[in-house]
Each structure stands twice: as C-alpha cells, then as structure tokens.
Structure 1
Amino acid sequence: MGDVTDIAPTDPDLLIDFRDVEFRRGGNTLVGPVTWQVELDERWVILGPNGAGKTTLIRMAAAEEFPTEGTAFVLGEQFGKTDMRDLRAAIGVTSAAVAHRIPSEEIVGDLVVSAGYAVMGRWREEYDEMDYAQAEEALEQIGAMHLIDRTWGTLSEGERKRVLIARAIMTNPELLIMDEPGAGLDLGGREDLVAYVGELALDPDAPAMVMITHHVEEIPFGFTHAMLLDEGNVVAQGLIDDVMTSENLTKAYHQPIQLDKVDGRYFARRARRGGAHRA
C-alpha cells in the first residue's frame, strides 16, 4: 500500500471504503483494482464464478487480509494505521472456516454467548445475565432459540447456519459478513435460510450486510446492492436491480444467462439459443 499519511479521510457513514484496492499473491492479482463503498444501512450480495475473487475481497472487508495496493478503510479505520485485531472484533463473520473450528460437543448457548469474548465456546470466562439475554436475543432474531440447549454435533446443516449467524450478531457488530451461508443446504434448508436472512435484512436495527453466494436464488428479500466479479475485476456494482440483469450475468459467467425476477426473488438459467443444445 502507498503512503498512509497523505490519504483523504473516509466518510463516517461508510463502513467499507476501498479505493483502487488490489490483492496479489505469488505474482498473481487475485482482486482488483476495486473501488467499493458500503454505507450503514446497505445489504450487499457479491456473485461471480469460481476464482472470481469473492472470498478474497470479503476477507479484506473482514480485516483478515491486508491489501497489496490501494487504500482501505473499514468501520472508519484505515488499514496500516489501526490494530487489525480490534477491527476484527467489531465485525460479525460467518463462514465454513468458522464452522470447522467448532467441537461437536459444544452447546449452542455457550457457542453464541462466547462471541462476546471473541473465543470459540466457554472456558473460564464469567458471563452475567446481560450476556445470556443478548445471546438469547440473537438466537431469537434468527429463529434459532429452540436450539439453545442442543450440541453442535446434533444440528442439521441448516440449523448450524442459523446458529453461526446468531453468534455473528451476538456482539451487535456494525458489519455482518456471510461467506456462502447457503452452501450445502437442501432446498428446504435454503428456503428457510433465505427467509431468516431476509427478515434480518429488513430489520432497521440490523448491521450492514455483505453476503457471498454462487446462486441468485439465494439472494434474500431486503438486499439493496450487488456486485458481480470476474477474474478479480468488477463487472458491475450498484443498486441490485441495476446490476442483476441477464446482460451482466452473461458477461460475468461467459455464457448466455437468462435472469428472471418472480415475487421479488431472482432465478437464473442458461438461455437456449434455438433448437437443442449441442456440446
């Protein structure tokens, strides 16, 4: 990154403010340059083919990766001038990496309440009634209160996704980042998750949200903005209905995609080019 002492400050309403951000590894540019801003009340979905740079981009947004070039502000703090550990504590994250670290015997209530100490499960920390009330509120908000006494190993994949979101919002973060929350779910589980996340997105007290998905059908109600990535570059970004078009998806996925919107939900399929499809 360049000289951090001569950078214009960020707008206080911006939770993410990336300016010509790039991320390189092993001589390859995985992301960028990307200029991207997320405001307080926005809900973003990021889509693109495998290898497009989606996870790398949100790992930077979660303060888990440091950009190679450009200027990055998250929650008003500039990378290079702040303690990344303190920044991570203020961001809620759900991902497969988090799920894989949870022991099967962990009790759901302990898993959620321990987020306040940024640890995985209870150890020797002391929690008061306010901590437990907050954990219960988070579970209730995502429709998972009935799971509070269950152990992680007994949960279905869909139940695990909901518990992870409850843990992520336990600390009242300003920013919630979800990396493929619908991965591995069957149709019923996916629809349940879309409904719960949609309710959260419509809650004015909920944090700003950024979600990665591979499937347009997983975009919940209430999401306001979208970004399409391909090979680390932005194909389109902005208001969701402006970005989510057949033309933009065709460009991002390098094949003819027909996008439809039914009852506020998006559905995509490969467009037929007359006659039977030939390999």
Structure 2
Amino acid sequence: MANADSATSSVESVSARKLGDTWEGWSGELEENNGDLATSPWYFLGYYAVMLLLLHTLAFGLWFLTEPRLAEIGPIFKNLVEIAGIASLATMDVGFGLVVATVLTGKNFVPHYKGKHIALSPLLPGIIKIGTKFGLSKDRISNSLLQVGNRITIANTKRIKSTELVVLLPRCLTKVMRESVDEIAKRYGVTAHVCGGGQQARQILAERKPKGVIAVACERDLMAGVQDVGAAIPVIAIANKRPEGPCRNTNIDLPEMESAFRSFLGEVSRV
C-alpha cells in the first residue's frame, strides 16, 4: 500500500510541473545526493585519460596488423602513415596535458581553446561511455566536464564591462534564490534574465550580443547550451541543485555565482 501511495505521489509530482525538453520522460525519482551533482573536474579528466589510453592501444594494434601490408605498398608510404599516426596521438596527448595544467594552476595553457568549448570534443561520447562504466551518471560526468570548461573559460577570458555581460537564469529557481542572484547582479551593474527555455535564451543572446555569459541551468540544458554556442561567447556554466527534482524550486551556490561575476568583471563593476 505504501509503495502504491509513493508511486501515485511520484506521478502527481511529475504531472504538476512543467518539465523542460531534456527531462521529458522523467519518472519522478529524485536524483542522488539530494539533487546536488557537483563533481570534481578530475573525474572527467581521468576518464579522458582512459580514453586516450584506449586510443593508443587501438592505434598500436592496428599498426601491428597493417604494418606488413603498408610495407608492401612501399617504405615511404609506410613511414608517412607511421609519422601521421604518431603525430596525431602526440597532438591529443599534448592537448590533454595543457588542459590538465590549466585546471591545476588556473593559468592559460590553452589559448587554442579560445572560441571553442571542450564539450565539442569528438571524444566526448566515448568519455561519457567510459564514465558510466565506472558507475558515474551522465549528468555527473557533464557536471565535471562543465567545471573543466569553466576553468578553461576563466583562464582564457579577459575582463569585460558590466554592459557586456549577460546572466541567464532558469524559471525553476526559488523566489528567494532569484532575489539573491538579483542582489549580486545589481552590485555589479548587471541585469539577470529569467528564461523559459533555450529558444528564449538564444533570443536574448542575439539581441544583447554579449562578450560573456553566466548561465544557470541543469547539466543537461547547460551541455546543450554550450554546444549550441560553441564558446563563440565565453560561458561560465553553473549547474543548479534540484532537491525536489528537475524544474521546480532549484537553487545554486551563491559564492560560485559571485566568483563567476568576479571572473568576468573583477572586484568592481566597470560600466
């Protein structure tokens, strides 16, 4: 009987809220850790390293199998293929090392990431599969990735004016949390925009043409957003916490929000 009541309550909870597209089909089950999926950036980087190790293993295996055939075609062709393979693997390894150095030190070792986001990496689907094999949910892997992306954005971004910064908030934030964010934004001379979805957010960005964005949403919407923008606009992504499940009465870490403002504007607003 208790299970039936719980199931009924879950269905009512789902039907009583307006879910975003990325939560379509949500069963009503609450997330782990009371909806707080904050995850260290080192998880994503660890799975990234495993992905590179697998690519190295695959490359050496393919080389072992095809080297005799390539030698038959000609030594010059074989050498060119070998050099190209080694160069490709070395480029990925060096790129990964520079990302690690940036996350570790906060210094900009990744100027080549200016104008693009690590969420656009072609290796991402494989990294997510590896992470889920290790028992981490896709949302937590995304949270870890977004933290890596934030560190890269902060390292790459120069100070901008308050009029060049846009803050995007979801409708699902609690009233108290929205008011708290508004207070922080006003101190920096910035207006926070409450968006009803990705389409409205894109309209605001098209109208304002900002040089920096602070975006608050769930990991799913943030991933879709940064992949859509492609880091053509620097974005600091702040994942909300969902103690009542998605799309209702969410909150964020206010010191994290304050830190995001300082990353773009410095300690004092500049109009």
Q: Establish whether TM, by shorter chain, passes 0.5.
A: no
TM-score by length of 2: 0.30
Which has the greater radius of gyration?
2
- Between Structure 1 and Structure 2, the one with more strand by share is 1
TM-score by length of 1: 0.30
- Between Structure 1 and Structure 2, the one with more helix by share is 2
